[in-house]
């Protein structure tokens, strides 16, 4: 099975610019992964979304790279998954574009 979470949107402290360390900004996270499903083994996608949001708000990462590496380790340690894809977007940091970083 493959779980995909798209456009998980919330505000948090992330970035290295002075104003990014003070004011929360909107981030959007897309992620997907595969796992072996059975009646006794399933992954609740709501739990995954909540874990990602809670972690991002708590950690206040300086770099998107650090956030992706931390989330990758966290999800791999929390669930038996494969082919994890994570993309973090900052839609309001630059005037005319959306800035994103992914692990692939």
- Phi and psi (nearest 5°) for 29? -120, 130
| Domains of the chain from N-terminus onward | 2-102 (3.30.1130.10)
Q: How far is CA 102 from the centre of its chain?
A: 10
Model confidence over 44-81: pLDDT tens digits? 999 999 999 999 999 999 999 999 999 999 999 999 99
Phi, psi of 37 (to 5 degrees): -90, 140
Rounded Cα–Cα distance for residues 73 and 24 (Å): 24
Has this prediction a pTM greater than 0.85? yes
pLDDT digits (tens, 9 = 90+) for 14-33: 999 999 999 999 999 999 99
Q: Is the dihedral of CA 41, 2, 103, 26 positive or negative?
A: negative
When pLDDT is cut at 50, 70 and 90, the band that residue 104 belongs to is confident
Render 42-61 in DSSP notation, one character per residue: ---HHHHHHHHHHHHHHH--
């Amino acid at each position: 099975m493959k779980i995909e979470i798209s456009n998980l949107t919330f505000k948090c402290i992330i970035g290295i610019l002075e104003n990014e360390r003070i004011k929360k900004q909107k981030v959007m996270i897309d992620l997907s992964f595969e796992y072996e499903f059975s009646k006794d083994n399933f992954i609740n996608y709501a739990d995954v979304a909540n874990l990602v949001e809670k972690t991002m708000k708590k950690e206040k990462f300086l770099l998107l790279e650090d956030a992706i590496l931390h989330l990758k380790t966290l999800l791999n340690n929390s669930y038996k998954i494969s082919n994890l894809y994570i993309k973090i977007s900052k839609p309001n940091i630059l005037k005319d574009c959306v800035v994103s970083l992914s692990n692939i």
